[in-house]
Amino acid sequence: MHFATADVAISPALLFSPANFSWLPYGKLAILNFKREHDMEKYRITHHDSGFTVSFAAGETVGVFKTAKEAQQTITECEHDDLIFESARSLIKKAVDGLMQMHHLDRSAAQDWIKEAAG
């Protein structure tokens, strides 16, 4: 899904780190994609008259910013949050798996015990 609400052309000179982006033509609008190694379209920056919109590839808007640099900083922060979330998820999975094995519990019971202990 691409966001096309402005009829403008964007110059790649606006970017401060061009290796991290790709330009996708969309009519007279250029769509800016942020590239990730494991998820090539998780975040997207789109330029509008009002600024730069950062969105998830699924379409949910993260925010609107005055500059490309502010939009890029937001993506960096979102990626950091994603990394923390994935680390926490991995640790919880290992804790649940360990509790299941140690006490012969099913997954739901082990998750309930972990939630209660973390409370």
In a domain, 93, yes or no: yes
In a domain, 5, yes or no: no
In a domain, 3, yes or no: no
pLDDT in 10s for each residue of the chain, 119 residues: 333 333 333 333 333 344 444 444 444 454 454 444 444 568 888 888 889 999 987 778 999 999 999 999 999 999 999 999 999 999 999 999 999 999 999 999 999 999 999 88
In a domain, 27, yes or no: yes
In a domain, 6, yes or no: no
Range of the domain at 27: 12-118
Structural domains in the chain (count): 1
Q: CA of 111: how far to CAs of 11, 83, 87, 102, 106, in Å?
A: 50, 22, 17, 13, 9
In a domain, 52, yes or no: yes
